[in-house]
Amino acid sequence: MASESRRDLILAAMIRVVGSKGYKETSVADVIEEAGTSRTTFYKHFEDKHECFIAAYEMLVERVFAEVVASCNGSEDWLQRVKSGLATIVELFALDPELARTAVVEVAAAGAEARQLHWNAVARFTQYLEGGRELSGGRELPDNISLMSAGAVSGLIFDELLAGRATQLPALLPDLLFAMLVPYIGPSAAAEEMRRVAPTAS
């Protein structure tokens, strides 16, 4: 097997093991067992557990981001892009609760560098989905607006995952949509859009 794909196997194993056991309880032994590789192979690619986790996390973010971009499919319609992007994230997380837990909850236990990666990723997602400041009709919004949306959306997702309700995340989609839209279109229009994506309305 090529060295590159062994490395990828280890990274994928890291994401799964951390998602099920927690970062602190995860050992290199757990990861190589899950990946089906040797200890030597692990240390050929990574200095230690932390370095491996950071690489795994970067891979995870790229993967989720690529899926979000693909689902938006170059849509010029901002509203549509927010809807598809958020739907892709909650569905991905619901299908793979271990990945979700690693991505959102366990990353916080993996040190300052990992937390920074997580926060950068959240900011990148919200900025991508927003790309629509012009929709605010020339209104002055604080510079921090995407940080606020990021906090609102990631707080809701974090609480669901911490409570072990990853599979129920799609039910949160209307609320997440409201949180992303409200700075631009105001509460009544955002509540209207929210009702449109609510399961009962479809």
Partner 1 sequence: MRIAAEKGYAATTIADLTREAGISRTTFYEMFDDKEACFLAAYDRVVDALVRRVTVAYEAEEGWPNRARAGLAELLEALAEEPEVARLALIDVSAAGPAAQRRYRAALQRLTPFFEEGRDFAPGGRNLPANTSRMAIGAVAGLIADEVSEGRAEYLSGLLSDVLFATLMPYIGPEAAAREVGERAR
Q: Which residues bind partner 1 (CB under 8 A)?
A: 22, 24, 105, 108-109, 111-112, 115-116, 119, 136, 139-142, 144, 147-156, 158-159, 162, 172, 174-175, 178-179, 182-184, 186-188, 191, 194
Residue 91 or 175 having the CB closest to partner 1: 175
Closer to partner 1 by Cβ: residue 29 or 162: 162
What are the φ/ψ torsions at residue 66 (nearest 5 degrees)? -60, -40
| Least separation in angstroms between CB 26 and partner 1 | 14
| CA 196 from centroid of its chain's CA atoms | 24
* Contacts by 23-29, CB closer than 8 A, 24 or more apart: 23/53, 23/102, 23/106, 23/107, 23/109, 23/110, 24/109, 28/52
Torsion of CA 83, 87, 89, 95, to 10 degrees: 180
Cβ 189 to partner 1 shortest distance, Å: 9
Q: H helices within 46-197, ranges in order? A: 49-72, 78-95, 97-104, 112-130, 145-162, 173-197
Which is nearer to partner 1, 41 or 154 (by Cβ)? 154
CB of 62 to partner 1, least distance (A): 23
Instruction: Compute the least distance from the CB of residue 159 to partner 1, in Å.
Output: 6
Q: Residue 44 or 115: which CB sits closer to partner 1?
A: 115
